[in-house]
Structure 1
């Protein structure tokens, strides 16, 4: 039995991640024909995944019923399938559920958060953490049957399935000793039997995954907000090493904030890490516009925390930043990082994260806030005037050179408010669509 590269797109003979070449054996005839994957357990160990996952993947792709007998280590796909075909299908499973999305190394571990309905993967090689897209039936199965990390690489979904046969009062074996499942939810004989697919039993799922939850990264959600914020700070401080952060790093930072459920407050950490030089603060904001937008776009809470982070930064550098409060707010506004309504609400409540400087900060921001309000009122007046009479924009002009019965209509150019003119000018210079990144 030979071996192949886990990532078969790489032909390097010195590639150190190997797995056994898939061996399939066709058994039976007619309607009872089936394919046994002889070395599925060895392959699963090499991939660090439960053997049921790639077997179930074959069933999903081929539309065939599968049978996983964990006790006897027999993994079967109904129908006749040759080894080469199954090996090619296995590449699809490896690409989505094994290889790291960042470095393509197979040193990943998957974690399931059933309450949130997400599956994440963490790479031991590069430290990348990200969610796996839930686009096929296998992801639904994994959500129901998370891996038991206590059993080590390639382990089955639960230690419970490895125990000896348990006999009931009538001497029958437990239905869990032979794990059968298929895409229709029916047992091997086509009966709608709940015991045929142990993953459909919610109580059983809870028992099987109780130990695994404690060992997943998502157990971090059980920690306090302060602890999770500190974890996010430690993670981000290692990646925010340059004035301008590339897109890949930005996505990693956002993904970590989502994993720790601190996306709203994450901007506090960004302020602490990025605003270390008060003299370069405005340039840093412009350079990292897209990073801030990933957190604040259509997120009022994050915008409020961003203002709080700015206030805390002003507290550290009052002499340098107090005189520049209005220009800094205007930069945030011009770059669409802060919305007009959020700034006005903040100024009207006159609350601040820095009590001793609250009055001074609001006083320095007053000219910009006043300009925002005036621009808002002007826009409101313009819109009301347009609704009253559309004919007001039309001027009747008499032309002596033309016949008396001919009249020309001249439409006035629409008025542009000062605020809109400023925003349009900025967008022409720096128009970045975050959704296109």
Structure 2
């Protein structure tokens, strides 16, 4: 790949570790004699083999195993796992169960998005190395961010027994349903956070993100009547049609890249993007009015082709999740919860007599903070998992990060070494990668 701008400068930049991302890896950029010889994100950690771990295990316990894939989006993995087992045996959950699962997914999305925006992205925008210096210069903002994150974690505890690795959601429903007092407590927390949400929008109005665009394909769930997180079909900005979750391989084509121990993904192009920006590009019209108001306040318009704006997309989703959570809570406070739907984590002996399991393959697809997540299991008539496949959002974004960097470097080659390094680091951070899920980020090597 040649570019006239590249001949003006040759680079030899080595950043051994990139902070404020989850996991480890390398960015390698090699510009020599005016030629961009190498520009890629290398994932170097060992595979974790969760698909092998669940083989031979009961469908009623695999969600506890797969939730360990990630400490940030463990609820999402748990949810995708449960949906896959239910789909495999043809089990349909109640509308109450669906709504409560949607509420729990909102809580995890809120917790993760606030973490990313305030603690991983904001230091770059304010010119510091981490959130620690901001404790001195922006103490009240840091305290507010910590309060918001703690509140979302606390509500996850209320809903699922604990935030990380939830215990009360399971195949068929919930082992413990929230009480009226629980719902009232969560509503009060959300109401108290509306001011923090407004302040967050005002703060990020002043944050200047890099100006960069690369038009790509965006992949997400979509639903005809709601902004899709828990249910829906798969769509992309290119095909503009829908694919059922079981046919996810018609869109998500995984492949091996020599420079990565994590698989890459593509559809018709060389890459695609998943995550908040993809969801909003595909489903902007399904956002609630409060979220659309935040989009206007932050001057966000679709389609948006700037990957750095993924953080802004996350803040728009924060508003959507807050107000949709309040809607769900109010619904249950008005009509009540049917506690007769509580189930045991494993069917009892009496339940087994009427609980029929037929062998089959099912897919569970949900949207987690970093993008569309797929779990697929084949289950036999003894309710045992025979095979599994997990497609992680970060894996799906890796090829897109590579192509973004290949376009970015020639455009910023006239900047200083420090500026180019920061822009590269910020680009990767914008995707909010969770490398533990994929296999793991980040050392940066610019090789001359």
TM-score category (smaller protein): under 0.3
For normalisation by structure 2, the TM-score amounts to 0.23
Answer with 1 or 2: which has the greater Rg: 1
